[in-house]
């Protein structure tokens, strides 16, 4: 059986790499250059398609189960669950702006920068909070039965990893 905590952490590491790559492109944008909008949109699509459909629902189930076992932590876990919705909304807003910019629509630079900063800061802080406060406690408190339930909340079928193999390759080459 795959260690769920190690898998959770590994996904966070990869998400942080994607956020760093997105930030690098946004730095280029901020400096007046033309970022790689296609790469930025691919990153956002991955984070939305994978994280919002697979990773976050699993976390939400883990949070619910952990909150029942550690009631003093329930408010913090509820906040982390709410952050998943905020991150999804911020990501969608940024993705919309970037798609419009790619189509040569007029988008104020400040709108893109605010949306990007919101997304990057919120997502990065969210991951850090989970790593610091939740993973070790989940490893200690959640049973094998809990982890099976966590695994079971993601949609059935193949996860979108195959679709994003090229994204992983491009990021690895540019690192």
Residue 105: both structure tokens together: 């629509």
CA–CA dist 115, 94 (Å, integer): 5
Q: How many domains does the chain have?
A: 1
> In this predicted model, what pLDDT tens digit does every residue of 26-41 receive, in sequence order?
999 888 888 888 899 9
In-domain check, residue 79: yes
Tell me, what's the pLDDT at 68? 95
In-domain check, residue 144: yes
Lowest mean pLDDT among 15-19, 34-38, 63-67, 69-73: 34-38
Residue-number span of the structural domain to which 132 is assigned: 4-156
| CATH number of the CATH domain containing 44 | 1.20.120.520
In-domain check, residue 166: no
Orientation of helix 56-69 relative to helix 74-102, angle to 10°: 170
Is residue 163 pLDDT above 90, yes or no? no
């Amino acid at each position: 059986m795959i260690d769920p905590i190690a898998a959770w952490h590994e996904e966070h590491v990869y998400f942080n790499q994607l956020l760093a790559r997105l930030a690098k492109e946004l730095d280029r944008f901020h400096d007046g250059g033309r970022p790689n909008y296609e790469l930025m949109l691919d990153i956002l699509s991955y984070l939305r398609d994978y994280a919002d459909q697979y990773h976050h629902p699993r976390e939400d189930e883990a949070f619910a189960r952990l909150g029942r076992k550690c009631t003093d932590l329930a408010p913090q876990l509820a906040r982390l669950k709410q952050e998943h919705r905020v991150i999804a909304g911020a990501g969608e807003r940024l993705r919309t702006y970037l798609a419009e910019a790619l189509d040569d629509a007029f988008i104020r630079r400040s709108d893109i920068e605010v949306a990007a900063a919101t997304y990057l800061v919120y997502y990065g802080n969210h991951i850090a909070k989970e790593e610091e406060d939740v993973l070790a406690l989940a490893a200690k408190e959640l049973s094998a039965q809990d982890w099976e339930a966590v695994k079971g909340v993601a949609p059935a079928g193949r996860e979108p990893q195959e679709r994003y193999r090229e994204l992983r390759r491009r990021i690895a080459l540019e690192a």
